[in-house]
A = this chain, B = another copy of it.
Amino acid sequence: MRFPQDWYGGSTAAGLKPSGRPDLALLVSARPAAWAFAGTLNRAAAPSVQRGRALYAQAAPLRALVVNSGIANCATGPQGVEADRRMAELAASRLQISPEEVLTASTGVIGVPLPLERIEEALPRIELGEEVEQFVEGILTTDTRLKLAEAQIGPARLVGFCKGSGMIAPHMATMLAYLVTDAAIPQAELRRGFSKILEESFNQVSVDTDTSTNDMAVLLANGAAGPVEPSQFWQGVRQVAISLARQLARDGEGATKLLTVRVRGARSAEEARRAALAVASSPLWKSAAYGRDPNWGRILMALGKSGAEFDLFKVTISLQGHLLYAGAPLPFAREEVSRSMEAEEVVVEVDLREGEGSGEAWGCDLSEEYVRINALYTT
């Protein structure tokens, strides 16, 4: 997939990852870009997220992004803040721009200092090109696949890419997500619109209910293709963000399938999203989905713990298109429904029958492999 106009990226192996895979990536715009940003709500936010917030408050345009994907540089003391600043300076120096035009991001192990000399040595080696994959390969950790999406918006293009597969829960996931476009959008509008998109996309993904210290989602617009029609633009952003959110959930650590939950009939959209996310992130429903067990009682349990308003004698629950509960249990062909759960995507549809609010959330099933991956991550 090609970047939009005047965007370039690349990556290299700086030796931060023991595996020797690419772990240092650079994304550059040939012209100043307007940007919208959201960082993790985790109170133990890493220096990169804190620096991103400070730059965001200044509201000047961005030119570049430097990402390392081996070391989170979180909880590394005051020297970690300095190391993050230094990483921005090194990237700015290579690109002949100001450090304030460079956003940093880190992901990986918490509590390990960033080896700046390796970053300094590797940065000049990054070849910048027009293929998105060249950049994205440098930001992956336990991901098993590339996560990309694109949209054409009038004369402009939007390309989205992200990494993330564990420690993923709302606000944000262990997730670095970037949406870059050559559309020209005023920064104020970009920022206003992005937060609503986040509510319906990245904040509706859960792999394990754990929230990373290093997450961020960024939307960047460099204007190279000129102005676009706003409603068309936001439709494109929404579509790309939701595609990435679904790809994140599907690639959850140890996942064998994507769990999609659609709730309608809630008192509000917020309540519908909350109810959908409670189901998508319930360990018991996730385990049942893994075992192809049409155990709708666990769906009902998760709806009940979400706090969303509903009446046990009115709510309806469908699984893979089979209506299993409508105020009371319905008879169903257990074998057939179980077989339908062998699909790559398992869809739950709920009608709370209280109002007009609807919302969607995405998760993944819980397998023994999730435990294995996470029992042996640092040792």
User: Residues of A with Cβ closer than 8 Å to B?
Assistant: 41-45, 72, 74-79, 109-112, 166-167, 169, 208-213, 282-284, 287-288, 290-298, 300-310, 312-313, 325, 327-329, 334, 338, 366-368, 370-379
Contact = CB atoms under 8 A, between A and B. Distances in A.
A303 B166 CA distance: 17
22 contacts: A43-B307, A43-B310, A44-B300, A44-B301, A44-B312, A75-B312, A78-B313, A110-B296, A110-B298, A166-B284, A287-B374, A288-B377, A290-B371, A292-B379, A293-B375, A293-B376, A293-B378, A293-B379, A294-B379, A295-B377, A297-B378, A368-B368
Contact of A368 (B44, B303, B372): B372
Contact of A110 (B166, B213, B297, B307): B297
Given A74-B300, A209-B209, A210-B298, 9 more contacts: A42-B305, A43-B305, A75-B297, A111-B329, A166-B284, A210-B301, A211-B304, A288-B378, A368-B372
A301 B77 contact: no
A111 B295 CA distance: 9
Q: Is the interface of A mostly helix, strand, loop or mixed?
A: loop
Contacts of A328: 75-79
Contact of A308 (B43, B291, B312): B43
Nearest to A169: B305
Given A210-B283, A312-B44, A368-B368, A377 B304 contact: no
B293 A210 contact: no
A282 to B, nearest CB: 5
A305 B300 CA distance: 26
Given A43-B309, A287-B370, A297 B327 contact: no
Contacts of A167: 284, 301
Contacts of A212: 301
